[in-house]
Amino acid sequence: MTKLGLLARIEAKPEYAEKVEGLLRDALELARQEDHTVTWFAFRQGDTTFGVFDTFEDEKGRQGHLQGRIAAALMEAAGTMLSEAPDIRPVDLLAVKLP
Q: What is the pTM of this model?
A: 0.92
Helices H, strands E: what count in the chain? 3, 4
Cα separation, 44 vs 62, whole angstroms: 22
For the chain (99 residues), the mean pLDDT of every run of 10, in chain order, is 92 97 96 94 98 96 94 90 95 92
Q: Which pLDDT does position 2 carry in this prediction?
A: 80
64 and 71 in contact (C-beta within 8 Å)? Answer: no
Q: Which residues pair with 11 in a beta bridge?
A: 49
DSSP state of 48: S
Cα separation, 92 vs 82, whole angstroms: 27
Q: Which pLDDT does position 20 carry in this prediction?
A: 97
17 and 82 in contact (C-beta within 8 Å)? Answer: no
Q: Which pLDDT does position 51 carry in this prediction?
A: 97
